[in-house]
A and B are shown apart, each in its own frame.
Chain A
Amino acid sequence: MTTNPAGGVHDAARRVVLTGFGVFSSIGVGAAEFAEGLRSGRSGAKPITVFDTEGFEHTNGCEIRGFEPERWIRNLDAAQLGRASQFSVAAARMAVQDAGLDPADLREQRGLISIGTTDGESWDLDRLVASQLAKGSAEMDRSIAGRIRAGRLSASIAQELGLTDVEAVTIPTACAAGNYAIGYGFDAVRSGEADYALCGGADAMCRKTFAGFYRLGTIAPERCQPFDIDRKGLLTGEGAGVLLLETLESALARGARIYAEVLGYGLNCDADHQVAPLESSVARCMELALENAGVKPEEVDLISAHGTGTKANDVTESRAIRSVYGTTPPRTVSVKSMLGHTMGAASALAAIACSLAITHGFIPPTINHASTDPECEIDCVPNEAVEADLRIVQNNGLAFGGNNAVVLLGRYEA
């Protein structure tokens, strides 16, 4: 028996740890490069090329260039997968490898695959619509039509890795989806119903969502400046983050490297407005996560905010944090300042960022920051990473539809 950082006692068979990461992001591919990008405050912002931006006045985004799915996708034909599925499958393959596992090791075990997304294969869907407009409904691009179902983001991972005794679900709970996926894996592994879980999120940048955010006035002209007095909105981004979850017992038995422990999570719904976040409900979700993890607010060393860089989000989220944490909340950063808003992948990539911060002892900065908005009364660790001994980190994910999900991660201590 061991004591977890929160002071609760858990059997190693019921503690859930993170032992492998797959990362595709605009600031780095793979856990090591991603950690280096986070530490150096790298920006993924650049002109968008993955779809036509003519007619939009601002056209920056955080896209991934030079993605080579064939390097990671060996058993499936990458051309039969949409771009988001290519990201999710490649990231899952990488996570298994990073965990020091062979897919064959997993085939004998019972697994769960949960992949969050906002847009699914909407990048492909944009192109399907263009082909329909050009050629008519009867002549639209059949090869695209066949690969756009959202369920494929998770099912394709199982097929690529040859996993059959596995529950594969895609969780399209928009911009909180990565945290939902991690939470679902946590419950399945902790209850003993799954031996391992591959959880995370994936999205490919698309015109549909860019246009939507643009029309709502929430696309920043050049860069994303969360919590800044002059913030002008978000930048859309893309990529995938997949985490391998297993019990502490399993990780110890095979001598695996443990990045961090999943301590618990909370889910709730604003039930208030389709797109505007509700402060009281966001705060309640953090409380639910803290309760579930058995963690007191004063034990939390860092918050990774949803932090989109929009006027509404950053004020609402900062206030919610202060209502839970009081007048001296833990340092609160937004990795979206670097990665952009990677939608369904956002909270999965942020959870990986939190774990790497715990492992390597630093706090990733909120870049592009000049002057903190007095309405956002938090220390966002402007521009430069700082060294820090982190034991417990909170990862926030908020979404349209009022879908909130907050995950608590801790340093593994034997």
Chain B
Amino acid sequence: MTGPLITDWSAVSPYGIGRAAFEEGFRSGRTTSVPLENEDWLVGERADTEACLVPGFVIKEVLGKKGTRAMDRVTGLVVTTVGRLLDTTGGPLPSEDPDEDTALVLGTTHGSHKSMVDITRDTLTDEKPYYINTAHIPNAIGNASAGMCAIWYGLKGPNATIAAGRNSGIATLNYGRRLLATGRARTVLCGAAEEYTTDRSWLEWHTRGADETGTVLGEGCAMVQLRAPAADGRGDDDALAEVLGVSSGITGPDGVAAGLETVVGNALRRAGIGREEVWAVSASAPAGEAGRQELKALDALFGDLDPLTLGRPGQIGDTGAATSAFQVVATLTAAQDSARAAGRVAVLTSVDRDGALGCALLRMR
């Protein structure tokens, strides 16, 4: 049985806005880290001196002034990416021609951390605790970005938000796959997003382990378009890849490497894929011990096969919840450049500090 097909994608990344910018940047291998001292939109003292930012991402310039006055950064990233993916401009007013068959599944750490703490901060610093910025209240809910995208593009299908740490992007592929399998949607836009803000920089700084110092934060959003294959297999020429399967797990007492080996083994077995079919592996590659464990597992599983190894998805920094969504689009980009990719399988893995383990298997077209 053929799995759902990835037929298109887009991204807003430190390489720039849109798919072409990501492809160009990824191929160049150039770094995107910039000193923060010139970023005057960032308020307050920061924990970092540099970060990988989406260049020139000023929401009202990218999306226009209408309906963006109170839009937070992560929502801006998502709305921009989905607009590129749908190849439309959309807008803040409800659509007169809504689409009931397209679902949106968005991976996130938990919405905009900044939008949430801004509200609490207002309650603690102003004269009255309820002197909060009313327009920002809806932003402080974890599903705000997905809900706003639905408004901008008239997407009335299932609208879900998923938080599974670094595994969130892979988790959205599974959620999207199930929506298609159960007939709840005909097309699913799935992916994940993360914003850079002063508040995130401090939160990350305080939670980094001793082995994770030197992490440079990144931001962005990557989304793919997923649909079920045609019953007779015809008309699927636009497919870039087939989602063969997604497996997940939680790190147990045996540690990350052993846990991930099991998860990947389960994924291969459940999809009926042999190791020899593997063309490339893509690791989430977090800093520190977790990242080393991830590579250890991949080496134990596939080292002798010498697959193409896609490390961190480009030089775009630590994109948190968006990491595995960027792995997907980086793999799709790499496949275009590899004569050996067609018909073979990419293994994408992710490991997260809170225990989530994930593996997605994509067969490249």
A residues with CB within 8 A of B:
54-56, 117-120, 122, 125-126, 128-130, 132-133, 137-138, 140, 142, 145-146, 148-152, 154-156, 158-159, 162-174, 180, 184, 187-188, 191, 193, 207-209, 211-212, 214-216, 267-275, 281, 284, 292, 399-403
Q: Are B138 and A400 in contact (CB under 8 A)?
A: yes
Q: Which of B227-235, B248-256, B273-281, B286-294 contacts A (4 or more CB under 8 A)?
A: B248-256
Q: Are B151 and A402 in contact (CB under 8 A)?
A: yes
A-B contact count (CB 8 A): 244
B308 at the interface (CB under 8 A from A): no
Given contacts A208-B140, A215-B134, A401-B159, whether A122 and B116 have CB atoms under 8 Å apart is yes
Which of A188, A207, A216, A269 is close to B147, meaning CB atoms less than 8 Å apart?
Answer: A269
Which of A140, A149, A212 is close to B132, meaning CB atoms less than 8 Å apart?
Answer: A212
Q: Are A212 and B354 in contact (CB under 8 A)?
A: no
Q: How far is the CA of A273 from the CA of B156 in the complex (A)?
A: 12
Q: How far is the CA of A138 from the CA of B123 in the complex (A)?
A: 21
Name the interface residues of B333-347: CB closer than 8 Å to any CB of A.
none
Q: How far is the CA of A148 from the CA of B202 in the complex (A)?
A: 13
Q: Across the two chains, which residue of chain A brings its CB closest to B254?
A: A164
Which of A133, A145, A209, A400 is close to B143, meaning CB atoms less than 8 Å apart?
Answer: A400
Contacts of A281 in B (CB 8 A): 156
B158 at the interface (CB under 8 A from A): yes
Q: Are A169 and B171 in contact (CB under 8 A)?
A: yes
Q: How far is the CA of A148 from the CA of B116 in the complex (A)?
A: 12
| Residue interface bits B118-147, CB-to-A below 8 A is 1, else 0 | 011111110011101010011011111011
Q: How far is the CA of A167 from the CA of B251 in the complex (A)?
A: 11
B110 at the interface (CB under 8 A from A): yes
Which of A146, A191, A212 is close to B206, meaning CB atoms less than 8 Å apart?
Answer: A146
B108 at the interface (CB under 8 A from A): yes
Q: How far is the CB of A130 from chain B (nearest CB, A)?
A: 6
Contacts of B151 in A (CB 8 A): 271-274, 402
A-B contact pairs, 28 of them (CB 8 A): A54-B129, A56-B129, A56-B130, A120-B110, A120-B163, A125-B116, A137-B44, A146-B207, A151-B167, A152-B354, A155-B354, A159-B251, A164-B251, A164-B262, A167-B248, A167-B249, A169-B162, A170-B162, A173-B143, A184-B175, A208-B120, A211-B132, A267-B103, A269-B104, A270-B150, A275-B138, A292-B184, A401-B148
Interface centre among B129, B155, B168, B178 (most CB of A within 10 A): B129
Q: Are A401 and B147 in contact (CB under 8 A)?
A: yes
Q: Are A271 and B150 in contact (CB under 8 A)?
A: yes
Contacts of B138 in A (CB 8 A): 274-275, 400-401
B64 at the interface (CB under 8 A from A): no
Q: How far is the CB of A287 from chain B (nearest CB, A)?
A: 11
Q: How far is the CA of A321 from the CA of B195 in the complex (A)?
A: 39
A150-B108, A208-B123 given; 8 more Cβ-contact pairs under 8 Å: A130-B124, A145-B206, A151-B164, A165-B249, A166-B249, A208-B116, A208-B140, A211-B130
Contacts of A122 in B (CB 8 A): 116, 120
Contacts of B20 in A (CB 8 A): none
The DSSP consensus for interface residues of chain B is mixed
Q: Are B163 and A267 in contact (CB under 8 A)?
A: no
Q: Are A118 and B142 in contact (CB under 8 A)?
A: yes
Contacts of B100 in A (CB 8 A): 268, 284
Which of B109, B130, B154 is close to A151, meaning CB atoms less than 8 Å apart?
Answer: B109
B7 at the interface (CB under 8 A from A): no
Q: Are B109 and A184 in contact (CB under 8 A)?
A: no
Q: Are B124 and A162 in contact (CB under 8 A)?
A: no
Interface centre among A146, A154, A269, A274 (most CB of B within 10 A): A269
- Closest 7 A/B residue pairs (Cβ): A401-B147, A172-B142, A269-B159, A167-B248, A150-B110, A267-B158, A158-B250
Which of A159, A184, A193, A207 is close to B120, meaning CB atoms less than 8 Å apart?
Answer: A207
Q: Across the two chains, which residue of chain B brings its CB closest to A405?
A: B158
Q: Are A172 and B154 in contact (CB under 8 A)?
A: no
Q: How far is the CA of A158 from the CA of B124 in the complex (A)?
A: 36
Contacts of A208 in B (CB 8 A): 116, 119-120, 123, 140
Q: Are B142 and A211 in contact (CB under 8 A)?
A: no
Which of B94, B143, B162, B207 is close to A174, meaning CB atoms less than 8 Å apart?
Answer: B143
Q: Are B352 and A187 in contact (CB under 8 A)?
A: no
Q: How far is the CB of A359 from chain B (nearest CB, A)?
A: 27
B157 at the interface (CB under 8 A from A): yes
Q: Across the two chains, which residue of chain A brings its CB closest to B109?
A: A149
| Residue interface bits B264-288, CB-to-A below 8 A is 1, else 0 | 0010000000000000000000000
Q: Are B160 and A129 in contact (CB under 8 A)?
A: no
Q: Are A55 and B259 in contact (CB under 8 A)?
A: no
Q: Across the two chains, which residue of chain A brings its CB closest to B154?
A: A271
Q: Are A269 and B157 in contact (CB under 8 A)?
A: yes
Interface centre among A188, A212, A401 (most CB of B within 10 A): A401
Contacts of A403 in B (CB 8 A): 143, 146-147, 159-160
Q: Across the two chains, which residue of chain A brings its CB closest to B203?
A: A145
Contacts of B3 in A (CB 8 A): none
Q: Are A140 and B158 in contact (CB under 8 A)?
A: no
Q: How far is the CB of A149 from chain B (nearest CB, A)?
A: 6
Q: How far is the CA of A193 from the CA of B163 in the complex (A)?
A: 20
Which of A120, A159, A267, A272 is close to B250, meaning CB atoms less than 8 Å apart?
Answer: A159
Q: Are B129 and A55 in contact (CB under 8 A)?
A: yes
Which of B45, B144, B178 is close to A187, meaning CB atoms less than 8 Å apart?
Answer: B178
Q: How far is the CB of A56 from chain B (nearest CB, A)?
A: 6
Q: How far is the CB of B182 from chain A (nearest CB, A)?
A: 5
B91 at the interface (CB under 8 A from A): no
Contacts of A274 in B (CB 8 A): 138, 144, 147-148, 151
